[in-house]
Structure formats: structure tokens, C-alpha cells
């Protein structure tokens, strides 16, 4: 099964104060951890951001077709431009994510329209697999003022890929400089 990857790197980073995907942790940019998690598994990787500094990574860079929508806008733009029916969606701020998590998400058969990670009863909508078939509903949801990824995916009865509590660190994201400074190898 061929799968694309869409890495959401275009957030405002208002809580962080700087573009968090470009912060370095253990000598790698945060976005590189998401890239590494999908690189061997996905046929195409797209980075959704308006920041041209991401061109240094050598992957296709997309801008949100409708700015200021947050993650939903990135998902919309990424899915619309992807040539693959199934696409891994990852945010750029999860430095502990690894290939084994993504492998579990994309294991066949994928019959649902959305499959997202869940660990310790916490749903991770920005660590998942989304079908292009959701685009008409996503467009409608956004047109009607919807902005919440959680609200949107609830419309599809997503399948949850459950991960054991021991893997909880893989799902930790960093939103503030304080969280970033507390990151441990």
C-alpha cells in the first residue's frame, strides 16, 4: 500500500515564540524527527508551512490554501495536493515519534477514513492516517466555521490505534519554550 506523509509545520508558534519545527534538539531540528518517522514508509513527504526555511530539508513545501485555520488548514492543503489516497499526518513538535509508531498506524487493511493514535486514553489527532475521501466533508466543515480537529474527526467515527502506556513519551509534544527546555533524550 502506498502512503503519503503530510507534516504540519506551519503553526504560529505563539506559545513558543519561535518556529518550533526549526528548534534543535540533540543536533536535529524538531521537524526532522517527524520526517525520520515517515521517511522509509511513505512515498512522498510534504511539509505544510509558509516558511521558506523548511526548503533546506529537501521535501515539497506547501502553503495553507486558506491561512489562519490551524492544523485543519494544513490537513486540507496537504490532502488536496497529495496523489495518495492515504496520508500519514504528523505535527512537527513530537521529537520522540518514531517509525514503529507510524508502522502501526499504516498496517493494512485501512478501511476507515481516519485512524489516529491513542495512548493513555489521550487521542492524538495529529498522529494519524487520513484518507483523501474526507476532503469534501473537511471543506464543508471549514466553510461552516469549524476549526477543531477533534470535532472534525468525531464526524467519522475514527478508528483508534491504541498504544501501551510505556510508549507515552513518543506522543509528547512541545508547545512552550519551558517544555522544550525540559526535553530529555
For 143-173, write each residue's pLDDT tens digit.
Answer: 999 999 999 999 999 999 999 999 999 999 9
- Residue 9's domain is classified under what CATH number? 3.90.550.10
Number of domains in the chain: 1
Q: Which helix H or strand E contains 60, and what residues bound it?
A: strand 60-62
The whole-angstrom separation of Cα 89 and Cα 125 is 8
| Per-residue pLDDT, 8 | 97
| Per-residue pLDDT, 13 | 66
Torsion angles phi and psi, residue 167, rounded to 5: -95, 10
Its domain, for residue 74, covers 3-181
| Per-residue pLDDT, 85 | 96
Task: Please give the model's pTM, rounded to 2 decimal places.
Answer: 0.95
Q: What residues in the chain have per-residue pLDDT under 50? A: none
CA distances, 148 to each of 121, 140, 152, 183 (Å): 19, 13, 6, 27
Cis peptide before 33 (omega within 30 of 0): no
Amino acid at each position: 500500500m502506498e502512503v503519503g506523509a503530510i507534516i504540519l509545520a506551519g503553526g504560529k508558534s505563539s506559545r513558543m515564540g519561535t518556529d518550533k519545527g526549526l528548534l534543535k534538539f540533540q543536533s536535529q531540528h524538531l521537524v526532522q524527527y517527524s520526517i525520520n518517522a515517515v521517511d522509509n514508509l511513505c512515498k512522498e513527504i510534504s511539509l505544510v508551512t509558509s516558511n521558506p526555511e523548511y526548503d533546506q530539508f529537501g521535501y515539497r513545501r506547501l502553503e495553507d490554501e486558506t491561512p489562519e485555520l490551524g492544523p485543519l488548514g494544513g490537513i486540507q492543503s496537504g490532502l488536496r495536493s497529495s496523489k495518495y489516497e492515504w496520508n500519514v499526518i504528523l505535527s512537527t513538535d513530537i521529537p520522540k515519534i518514531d517509525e514503529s509508531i507510524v508502522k502501526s498506524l499504516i498496517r493494512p487493511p485501512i478501511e476507515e477514513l481516519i485512524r489516529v493514535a491513542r495512548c493513555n486514553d489521550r487521542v492524538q489527532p495529529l498522529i494519524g492516517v487520513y484518507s483523501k475521501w474526507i476532503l469534501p466533508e473537511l471543506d464543508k466543515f471549514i466553510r461552516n466555521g469549524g476549526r477543531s480537529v477533534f470535532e472534525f474527526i468525531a464526524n467519522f467515527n475514527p478508528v483508534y490505534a491504541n498504544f501501551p502506556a510505556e510508549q507515552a513519551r513518543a506522543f509528547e509534544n512541545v508547545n512552550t519554550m519551558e517544555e522544550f527546555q525540559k526535553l530529555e533524550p
